[in-house]
Structure 1
Amino acid sequence: MGELSVRSVLVTGANRGIGLRLVQHLLALSNPPEWVFAGCRDPKGQRAQELQKLASKHPNLVIIPLEVTDPASIKAAAASVGERLKGSGLNLLINNAGIVRANTLDNETLKDMAEVYMTNTTAPLLLCQAFLPLLKKAAQGSPGSGMSCSKAAIINISSCSGSIKELYLWEGVQAVSYRCSKAALNMLTRCQSMGYRENGILCVTFNPGWVQTDMGKAGGHMPPVTVDASAAGMLKVLSKLSEKDSGSFLDWEGNVVPW
């Protein structure tokens, strides 16, 4: 199996970190997607400058205004993507946007718990609902049987922090709301894999590793995985996924992560 081959992909939270690097690696493929949609809260803002530069060089990259916690923004983004695709459907939805609050059990708050859960768990649910017609259309319009990311897939970017069994780095960063939101995202992925199986849509949740992003460094330690290695690794794994992987929790190297 070679590198990922997909006609259209949407990445949320694409203006920095893992999202931006995924977009860069997708554009650098020997057979890049016909359409790469980069969801970004403020496309013309300071934090989106690198994404803007990329878009000026790659006509197949379209920056989509997207606030993932706003249902109206999600609906508008789905309509915009649908117009560009002209009836062909969306092959790959990567729910990457996420936030973290480094709160402990003792100082966790209702506000932070609600905001983190909304962005990390509820937003991927709403996005999948909004883009489901386009994902179904892609699955129906793709030749062959079985599932793959080239046909139709939902990829939810989770975290090793969401593993209930591992409780990775608990002594360093408790981040209770973040851990709970990612564990819930894992369950959402399982539910989606069951609910969308008959539509031929592959659903997988990913641990991208402890990555050297602003979020990854939030606890004051230098993570071991570079952003480039994580993004390239995940795209390599995506190229190999099939129906047997739907509903699974994998890391950026393709290993199964314990729930």
Structure 2
Amino acid sequence: MSSLGGCSGGGGGILGPALRELAAQHSIVRILPLDVENSASIQETFVSVEDQLQGLGLNLLINNAGRIIPHSFLSESEESMHQLYQTHVAGILKMSQMFLPLLKKAAQMGPQDSLSCNRAAIINISSAVGSITEIYGWHFGHVLSYCCSKAALNMLTRCQGLFLKEEGILCAAIHPGWVQTDMGNSGSLKASLKKEESVQGMLKVLSSLSGKNSGYFFDWEGKELCW
């Protein structure tokens, strides 16, 4: 299985020393520099990944880049809105477009009976705060640009699912929970979910996804979330 997780300099996932430690423990992990807000960086990473795959396809692209700017409705700025849309939407779209040839190759080489993450898939790490129905956590802080950009990412995922289904590529959005990361613990309230719990849950969800789930929105425990 060949997979790639996309991050940016402002990501809220495993960063810096923790990522290097993970790579040191597992020889199959390769670290490549990638900034999803920079098209040239995405192109360079694509070339590196294509070279390392040596003719094979990429069966799993996980778009995990994320950042948060804690503005409310009154303090929100045009600049921060643009910045987060660039990270959460435009950058993810560019990643999907750039790596599509490798994903299509994996889809063609993999099992043909059903869509799955073992065949070819794009997984976008979203957030329940992007659910227009739920607006999860609004009473903790409005983070308007984060909510709006994650809602847009959910729409992108829905469109990807419709468009890429014919290519044999599964697409889904996953809310990882409120996780104990640098970003998750950046405010006055601290996250309760450990990284290991979130990752184990998401891996279980990924292993269960099929064509009927393409373009949908789930949480780390497998619950389908409302748009």
For the aligned pair, the TM-score class normalised by the smaller chain equals: over 0.9
Structure 1 residues 164 and 123 mapped into 2: Cα distance closer, same or farther (>3 Å)?
same
TM superposition score normalised by structure 1: 0.84
Deviations, residues 204-253 of structure 1 (Å, cap 9, x unaligned): 00111111222122331122322111111001110111001101100000
Equivalenced residue count is: 227
Partner of 2:31: helix, strand, or coil? strand
Structure 1 residues 14 and 238 mapped into 2: Cα distance closer, same or farther (>3 Å)?
farther
Structure 2 unaligned regions, length at least 5: none
* Aligned 1:194-213 pairs, distance under 5 A: 194-213=162-181
Instruction: Give the match for residue 254 of structure 1.
Output: 222
**Paired AA for residue 99 in structure 1:** R
Distance (whole Å) between structure 2 residues aligned to residue 8 and residue 72 of structure 1: 23
Structure 1 residues 15 and 56 mapped into 2: Cα distance closer, same or farther (>3 Å)?
farther
Indicate the percent of aligned positions where both proteins have the same amino acid. Answer: 49
Structure 1 unaligned regions, length at least 5: 1-6, 21-46
Partner of 1:204: helix, strand, or coil? strand
Cα RMSD, aligned residues only: 1.7
Distance (whole Å) between structure 2 residues aligned to residue 226 and residue 192 of structure 1: 30
**Paired AA for residue 120 in structure 1:** H
Distance (whole Å) between structure 2 residues aligned to residue 190 and residue 225 of structure 1: 27
1:163 aligns with 2:131: yes
Contact 2:12 2:182 in 1 (8 A): no
Contact 1:173 1:219 in 2 (8 A): no
Structure 1 residues 74 and 108 mapped into 2: Cα distance closer, same or farther (>3 Å)?
same
Partner of 1:150: helix, strand, or coil? coil
Distance (whole Å) between structure 2 residues aligned to residue 238 and residue 57 of structure 1: 23
Partner of 1:203: helix, strand, or coil? strand
TM superposition score normalised by structure 2: 0.95
Deviations, residues 116-155 of structure 1 (Å, cap 9, x unaligned): 1101111110000000000000000012311000000000
Structure 1 residues 67 and 54 mapped into 2: Cα distance closer, same or farther (>3 Å)?
same
Structure 1 residues 71 and 148 mapped into 2: Cα distance closer, same or farther (>3 Å)?
same
Distance (whole Å) between structure 1 residues aligned to residue 107 and residue 13 of structure 2: 24
